[in-house]
C-alpha cells in the first residue's frame, strides 16, 4: 500500500529559484472529506488520479494512477470543485531528498510552500537556508483546503 510521509514549510527567501526544474500543475478535487480526498492532477501533458486517506501525524495512505490526459481535462472542467488549483512546482534534489516548491497562481497567488517526502516519520533532514517555518500540521496549507479557502481571502497572511 502507498504511504505518503511529508513535511511542509513556508519559505524565507527566493534562493531556491535557480536550483531546479519548474513545471505547471493543475489539480482539482472530486471529493474533499476529513477522512479522504480524491484528486485529478495534470503535470504538463501527463495526468493522474490520486486517492488519499486521513492524515496521522505527517503520514497518510496515498494511491496514484496515471490516467488519459484528455479524460483528466474533462474531469477538471466538469466534475471537480472550483476553483482548480494551479501552481508551478520546482523539484530540487538536496542530500538524497527531493524538495518540491509550489508557487501558487490564480486565487492562491502569493502563496509559496516547500514540501519534502520522507522514507519514515523520524528521518533526519538538513533544512536548506531558504526554508522557513514548518506548517506540516496546519491544514490550511493543504491544497484541498485552498479550494474552499483560497489564499486571496486569508485575512492574516504571513
Catalytic positions, please? 29
Query: CA torsion angle for 93, 128, 2, 145 (degrees, to 10)?
Result: -120
Residue 88: CB atoms within 10 A of its CB come to 14
Q: Which among 48, 53, 52 has a CA at the least distance from the CA of 65?
A: 48
The position carrying cell 496521522 is 56
- Helices and strands: H and E segment counts in the chain: 2, 9
**Range list of H helices, the chain:** 69-78, 143-148
DSSP string, 85-101: EEEEEEEEEETTEEEEE
Amino acid at each position: 500500500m502507498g504511504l505518503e510521509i511529508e513535511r511542509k514549510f513556508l519559505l524565507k527567501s527566493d534562493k531556491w529559484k535557480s536550483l531546479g526544474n519548474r513545471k505547471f500543475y493543475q489539480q482539482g478535487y472530486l471529493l474533499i472529506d476529513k477522512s479522504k480526498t480524491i484528486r485529478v492532477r495534470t503535470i504538463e501533458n501527463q495526468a493522474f488520479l490520486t486517492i488519499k486517506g486521513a492524515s496521522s501525524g505527517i503520514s497518510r495512505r496515498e494511491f496514484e494512477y496515471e490516467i488519459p490526459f484528455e479524460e483528466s481535462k474533462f474531469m477538471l472542467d466538469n466534475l471537480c470543485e472550483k476553483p482548480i488549483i494551479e501552481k508551478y512546482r520546482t523539484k530540487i534534489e538536496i542530500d538524497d531528498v527531493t524538495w518540491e516548491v509550489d508557487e501558487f497562481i490564480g486565487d492562491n497567488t502569493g502563496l509559496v510552500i516547500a514540501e519534502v517526502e520522507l522514507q519514515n516519520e523520524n528521518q533526519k533532514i538538513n533544512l536548506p537556508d531558504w526554508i522557513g517555518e514548518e506548517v506540516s500540521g496546519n491544514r490550511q496549507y493543504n491544497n484541498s483546503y485552498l479550494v474552499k479557502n483560497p489564499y486571496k481571502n486569508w485575512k492574516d497572511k504571513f
